[in-house]
Amino acid sequence: GEMLAAAALLLLLAAAGPGRAQRDALREELLLSPLPAGDMAATFQFRTRWDADLQRGAVSHYRLFPKALGRLVAALGVRELHLALTQGFWRTQAWGQPPLQAPAGAELWVWFQPTVTDVDKAWKELSNILSGIFCASLNFIDSTNTVTPTASFKPLGLANGTDHHLLRYAVLPREVVCTENLTPWKKLLPCGSKAGLAVLLKAERLFHSSYHSQAVHIRPICRDASCLAVSWELRQTLTVVFDTFTSGQGKKDWSLFRMFSRTLTDACPLASQSRVYVDISPKNKEKELLEVTPPPASVHEAIVQGDKKIYAVYDLLSPSLFNTSRSLNVQLKWKRPQDSSDLPTPVLHAQRYVSGYGLQTGEISTLIYNTHPYRAFPVILLETVPWYLRLYAHTLTIITKGKENKPSYIHYQPAQDRRRPHLLEMLIQLPANSVTKITIQFERALLKWTEYPPDPNHGFYVGSSVLSALVPSVIAMKDADVEQSPLFTSLFPSSDGSSYFVRLYTEPLLVNLPTPDFSMPYNVICLTCTVVAVCYGSFYNLLTRTFHVEEPSRGGLAKRLANIIRKFRGVPPL
Amino acid sequence: QLQLAVPVAVVFAPGSVPGDLPRPLPFRDVQEMEISVNLRAGVTSRHEMLYRSTTAREEAALGAATARETDAALHLLQDTSLGSLTVYVIPETSSLLPQGISTYVGKHRSALVRAGGGLAAFRARLQQLIQVMSFTASSIAAALSDRVPDSQLGPDARRHLKSSLGYEITFSLLNPDPKSHTVDWDIEEAVNRYVQPVLDKLSLVANFSVDSQILYYAVLGVTPRFDKESSSFLLSSHSLPHVINPVEARLGSSAASLYPVLNFLLYVPERSHSPLYIQDKDGAPVSTNAFHSPRWGGIMIYNVEAPASPQASLPLHVDVDMVRVMEVFLAQLRLLFGLSREELPPEFLVESPGNEGLADWELDHLLWAHTVENIATVSTTLTSLAQLLDKIGNIVIKDDVASEVYRAVASVQSAVAELATGHLHSAFQASKEAVTSSERAFFDPSLLHLLYFPDDQKFAIYIPLFLPMAVPILLSLAKIVREARQRKKDPTK
């Protein structure tokens, strides 16, 4: 570890060159972790840190930090911005605690500076600009899906004062994430997808996966330990889960090439750190079952989310790595088939579903599991429900082990039709080894006919509910670990060594609303028109026809002509 | 009908008054000139001349040793309102101007003219000078380029930026090969020293914001050709149009504002393609190694000297010489604003604007053109709004939209009136307000024509009613026609 740090420092100095010291730095990391159920999770993180205050200074000169985002932060008074675009759902129960989960669809939460006077206007403008930058439908964020949580979302960066009126939170569960969102995200990276870890980000592989989540986090951080000046940090993260089991003919072996159809050839020349971590922690206390090739130069031990983890580390900036072969293709082989019967269950996980029948009423149920054998801990639950599901607050019941569980904090903001959604925040104590069931009943509203989206019979999405908790750790963590360990451990604050922060999202819900038959008006028009036209036709005939008794005809045209001639001559007709 | 009035004071120094002046000094005179734009519209330029003789203080100022000192001394005595000009006529024998130079244009709004050659020749010279310092027929035609037939426009007419309330200037350093070159540029210092003074001067015209970025792995769209003779790479002028497109995707448009962006790119060619030179049409290398794209910005190629020893370790550290770069970019900036000084006749001597980068009269030149362009834009916008209303009869005009339209019309009328009386500054302000109001009215979301049902679709909905009802009517019509024909065929019945 010491040696590596020294090497990284040397490289950093070399990159800065003989000129002035650079005020920004880029670190790129890739974490590959086999999941208990046989899938593979790959998590990329690109951290750009800029020792400058974005809020001040009229003229801005950007180097590694992307100009588009920098200008946005400066122009709209953003203090912290978190945007995640996700396709698929992280199955906590099977895959374990995610490093950084995001709800299905698009999620955006932003803290504004106290100097911003009209937060709603800035929020609207921000979501519109972001939707332009990321080609996402974020412009559909309006007052009907925006909430201001009071307890669930705290600033992750440097902040003095947490007046939650400066916070806005919105989820668009219907948003579909695809290539057009990935391309602008890649464009924000200093090296693009031309060098470094980002060469692996090939869209056709990334979207051929069980879960894909890309995120952008911008926050102010302390420049150094004394914290007298502010630096800005941009984290671009991308998590993808591959189903190696089905794609690898029943084997759980994998390699970089097999997953991404690319291998690594170099580090991004602008990065001061470029590493690949492979999670090789032994599961179930067994001896090492897996083998990684090429053999890693070093091994890093860390305690992540209450678990002791061992990582094989490949440093792309170390010159020895590409000495033997031109490219790095990390491979992992299982020595003998592992039985996946006993999956380790995570300490905290949750489930949510809609029940009830008919199109008038229904019930939302949330199940929260605490599998910790002896520790109870509190959890904050945030529910955002659209206004067209009218919640009955008096039906809210929270039941743990057959008894009613009274929340110690509750914040409920009822919805206003077409104006704002329901917001329900509760602090619930979860006893050790328990299941807590939260139910609330609702009534489905009848929308105006213009308010239905295209394909209304598909149903309406209700965004995921958010669980935030400080989960007690089984193993004590040391403070020093946090700065050293890879990836996300430094994003969330840790209160002390005995617990770690977890934020979980439940499944989004799909609810059917009473939907009218949209072709009916036209049918009615057609039918009435036909009836009217038929009546009109007969009346018209009756009014315009002249009726006369027809004489029995005698003879044809020749005879009539002869008669006319005879009439002229004064001779009686034939 | 637009009338542009330029107040000009012609001041005669003792001994320079032409013998054949029509009246004794001082007197006023008006010269009108028609600039035809297209068949229907034209612009009248009106020079309101005031002929007078010098005051004692002006005489003292004209006694200075050089033209530059005279210009500085005279500046303190002048009426400094925008758009007005002062021309000092000095005796033919004066040594203030160098040999062969008959006209000197100062840094501010004044000029010195050598007397002599009769009244008619003097008037022609005066006319030319006033056009240089205010506007020419071609600069007005360029400002109205949307309405002028193409045949009338010069090749440069579409180069100038459209008039706008603000501009964003972005300097980008493109480093396609960060493995071999680490390029540093002190853009902050360079902007403060070279660009900011010019923009401060231009702040009257529009708001400017400046920023810069460094883009890595950004390559040009064409592969340069290797030239064996000079062992360098060449970009021919006909391939330049294809250079910008792939770069543009990386530049990142300004998501946070609606102003047009001016891009200035400094391209450091990759090691395998350097040195890289731009060739002009005749095959000769361009001395500045730069080119500009009309209404978009400019690109300069900055070659890195190959290291003396081939074993020099990579990456090579490069510090960009910002003086050289900024010289080119500032020249391109002037070109994009239509302020080139190339078309002047040889007997004109123009004072360099110095640190400010822009003389006062050049600012006036820009303001004249932008005011005329703004007025044209407003009239176009309001006309298309009116056309939209004609097309959709049941469109709803909200009160605030209506008031914006009224405000735009009032502002544009006042701008026209101010132009006719020669108040350039207030005319420009009024035209700016008119543009803001008219755009706000035009882009109001309630005026989206897709919000309104077209009449043919309404008709389509009622087809089930109209069609069956039409059947008996049509049948009886056919019957009437048939009977009428029958009757014609057989009139005897």
Indicate which CATH number applies to the domain containing A506.
2.60.40.740
**B1 pLDDT more than 80:** no
Specify the pLDDT at position A393.
92
Q: Is residue A410 part of a domain?
A: yes
Q: Give the whole-angstrom CA distance, residue B431 versus residue A116.
A: 32
Residues A277 and A328 in one domain: yes
Q: Is residue A2 part of a domain?
A: no
Q: Is residue A224 part of a domain?
A: yes
Last residue of a domain, one of A334, A364, A381: A334
Q: Are A534 and B468 inside 8 Å of each other by CB?
A: yes
Strand partners, A505: A466
Residues A267 and A411 in one domain: no
Residues A305 and A420 in one domain: no
Measured between CB atoms, does A230 come within 8 Å of chain B?
no
Residues A76 and A138 in one domain: yes
Listed in order, strand segments (DSSP E) in A280-416 are: 290-293, 298-304, 307-315, 331-334, 348-355, 361-370, 377-385, 389-400, 403-404, 409-413
Separation in Å, CA of A268 to nearest CA in chain B: 9
CA dihedral for B420, B423, B425, B426, sign (positive or negative): negative
- How confident is the model over A292-312, as pLDDT tens digits? 888 888 888 777 777 778 888
Residues A152 and A107 in one domain: yes
**Considering only CA atoms, which of B207, B215, B205 is closest in space to residue B252?**
B215
Separation in Å, CA of A536 to nearest CA in chain B: 7
Per-residue pLDDT, averaged over A96-119, amounts to: 89
Q: Which class would CATH give B360-448? A: mainly alpha
Q: Give the whole-angstrom CA distance, residue B312 versus residue B298.
A: 33
- Say if residue A149 is preceded by a cis peptide, omega within 30 of 0: no
DSSP conformation letters of B355-384: GGSS-HHHHHHHHHHHHHHHHHHHHHHHHH
Count of A-B CB contacts under 8 Å = 107
Confidence of residue A283 (pLDDT cuts 50, 70, 90): low
Ranking A105-114, B228-237, B336-345 by mean pLDDT, the lowest is B336-345
Residues A427 and A329 in one domain: no
**Rg of chain B (C-alpha set):** 31
Under DSSP, is residue B13 helix (H, G, I), strand (E, B) or coil? coil
Q: Position of tokens 């206390």?
A: A285
Q: Give the up-direction half-sphere exposure of residue B122: CA atoms within 13 A in the CB hemisphere.
A: 22
Residues A501 and A527 in one domain: no
Torsion over CA of A170, A173, A176 and A180, rounded to 10 degrees? 10
- Buried/exposed code over B135-168 (b: 16+ C-beta within 10 A; e: otherwise): bbbbbbbbbbbeebeeeeeeebbebbbebbeebb
State chain A's mean pLDDT as an integer: 84
Measured between CB atoms, does B179 come within 8 Å of chain A?
yes
Residues A41 and A149 in one domain: yes
Q: What angle do CA B134, B139, B143 make, to 5 degrees?
A: 115
ipTM surpasses cut 0.85:
no
For an interface test with A, the pick among B174, B210, B216, B467 (most A C-beta atoms closer than 10 Å) comes out as B216
Contact A190, A124 (CB under 8 A): no
Q: Considering only residues B116 and B260, tell me which one the structure prediction assigns the higher pLDDT.
A: B260
DSSP conformation letters of A392-415: EEEEEEEEETTEE---SEEEEE--
Chain A residues touching residue B471 (CB < 8 angstroms):
533, 537
Q: Position of tokens 């911003």?
A: A116
DSSP, res B89: E
The phi-psi region of residue B283 (left if phi > 0; otherwise alpha if psi is between -120 and 50; otherwise beta) is left
Strand partners, A511: A460
B262 Cβ contact partners less than 8 Å away, ≥ 6 residues apart: B161, B167, B168, B169, B170, B296, B297, B333, B336
Residues A170 and A151 in one domain: yes
Q: Is residue A396 part of a domain?
A: yes
Ranking A380-384, A402-406, B77-81 by mean pLDDT, the lowest is B77-81
Measured between CB atoms, does B458 come within 8 Å of chain A?
no
- How confident is the model over A53-98, as pLDDT tens digits? 777 665 578 888 998 888 888 888 899 999 999 999 998 888 888 8
B350 Cβ contact partners less than 8 Å away, ≥ 6 residues apart: B104, B105, B341, B344, B359
Ranking A58-67, B303-312, B430-439 by mean pLDDT, the lowest is B303-312
- How confident is the model over A353-373, as pLDDT tens digits? 999 988 899 999 999 999 988
For an interface test with A, the pick among B198, B211, B489 (most A C-beta atoms closer than 10 Å) comes out as B211
Domain with A312, as residue range(s), is 22-334
Specify the pLDDT at position A285.
53
Express as a percent the part of chain B with pLDDT over 70: 93
- How confident is the model over B391-430, as pLDDT tens digits? 877 788 889 999 999 999 999 999 999 999 888 999 999 9
| Total domain count, chain A | 3
**A286 pLDDT more than 60:** no
**Considering only CA atoms, which of B167, B247, B257, B179 is closest in space to residue B215?**
B247
Q: Which of B252, B257, B473 is facing A67, going by the closest CB pair?
A: B252
Residues A291 and A398 in one domain: no
Q: Is residue A144 part of a domain?
A: yes
Q: Is residue A454 part of a domain?
A: yes
Q: Which class would CATH give B166-337? A: alpha beta
Number of helices (H), then strands (E), in chain A: 12, 27
DSSP conformation letters of A206-274: HTSSSEEEEEEEEEEEESSTT--SEEEEEEEEEEEEE-HHHHTTT---EEHHHHHS--B----TTEEEE
A116 Cβ contact partners less than 8 Å away, ≥ 6 residues apart: A76, A77, A122, A166
Specify the pLDDT at position A293.
81
Residues A257 and A368 in one domain: no
Confidence of residue B155 (pLDDT cuts 50, 70, 90): low
Contact A264, A308 (CB under 8 A): no
Per-residue pLDDT, averaged over A418-441, amounts to: 94
Amino acid at A395: T
Residues A150 and A130 in one domain: yes
**A16 pLDDT more than 80:** no
